[in-house]
Amino acid sequence: MCAAAALCASLAVQAQTGGSQGGSGQAGTGQGATGQGGTQGSTATIGSADRKIVTDLAMANMAEIEAARTAQGKSQDEQVKKYAQQMIDDHTKALGEVQQLAQTKSVTLPSTLDRAHKAKVDKLAALSGDAFDRAYMAQAGVAEHKKTHSMLGKAQGRAKDPEIKALITRMTPTVDQHLNAAKELHGNKSKATGSSGAGTEKTGQ
């Protein structure tokens, strides 16, 4: 009887040990599933509206950079060249932020300008002298920044992703500063041209 009791006790201990090991294995499996679930949650993709916003932001910055590079090569006006350099610096920085965000959100961005923006840059490149300066400041300086300002306002209301909203918030003051500077420079050049013409008329009289 004693031997039988000892054997039963030994079997009971083994059964408890095996059960504990099995429980541990199941717990480990549960943790693995939780880890996978967390990873899947962090890489969730954004909606189509947010994707379009990110793509539009990239295109706007790319267009400003390309137009500014053209201005650097075509303009002979130091103020215009200085403005163009600021556009290159600021929009390159902004484009970098957009690209970084796009990567985290699994958004594929265009690598070249679309047809509409390329046509505008090509039209600028065909001009020279004062005609180029006036066209560059009117188009890339004033008109495009007005368009971008409006786009940012609408995008802020439509965007769902908080990181996209934060990027729009960061970009808006810079776009506003560019627009105000372009208006001032474009206005000064227009006044200078008008004054020059008026002076010639008076001299002729």
Looking up residue 62, the CATH number of its domain turns out to be 1.20.1260.10
Asked whether residue 19 is assigned to any structural domain, the reply reads: no
The string of pLDDT tens digits covering residues 4-20 is 444 444 544 444 444 44
Q: Decide if 113 contacts 63 (C-beta within 8 A).
A: yes
Asked whether residue 158 is assigned to any structural domain, the reply reads: yes
Where is 50: in which H helix or E strand?
helix 48-74
pLDDT at 163: 97
28: number of Cβ within 10 Å: 10
d(C-alpha 120, C-alpha 35), whole Å: 50
The answer to whether the predicted template modeling score (pTM) of the entire model surpasses 0.85 is: no
Side-chain-facing half-sphere of 148: CA atoms under 13 Å? 32
Confidence of residue 34 (pLDDT cuts 50, 70, 90): very low
pLDDT at 36: 40
pLDDT for residue 26 is more than 80: no
3: number of Cβ within 10 Å: 7
Asked whether residue 130 is assigned to any structural domain, the reply reads: yes
pLDDT at 144: 97
Provide the domain limits for residue 110: 46-194
pLDDT at 193: 65
Asked whether residue 199 is assigned to any structural domain, the reply reads: no
Confidence of residue 44 (pLDDT cuts 50, 70, 90): low
Q: Retrieve residue 21's tokens.
A: 């090991």
Asked whether residue 23 is assigned to any structural domain, the reply reads: no
Asked whether residue 166 is assigned to any structural domain, the reply reads: yes
193: number of Cβ within 10 Å: 12
SS3 content of the chain, % helix, strand, coil (to 5): 85, 0, 15
Split into its structural domains, the chain has a count of 1
Mean pLDDT over each residue of the chain, to the nearest integer: 82
Q: Retrieve residue 63's tokens.
A: 């267009």
d(C-alpha 40, C-alpha 43), whole Å: 6
Q: For 71-100, what is the mean pLDDT?
A: 97
Percent of the chain residues past pLDDT 70, beyond the cut: 72
pLDDT for residue 23 is more than 70: no
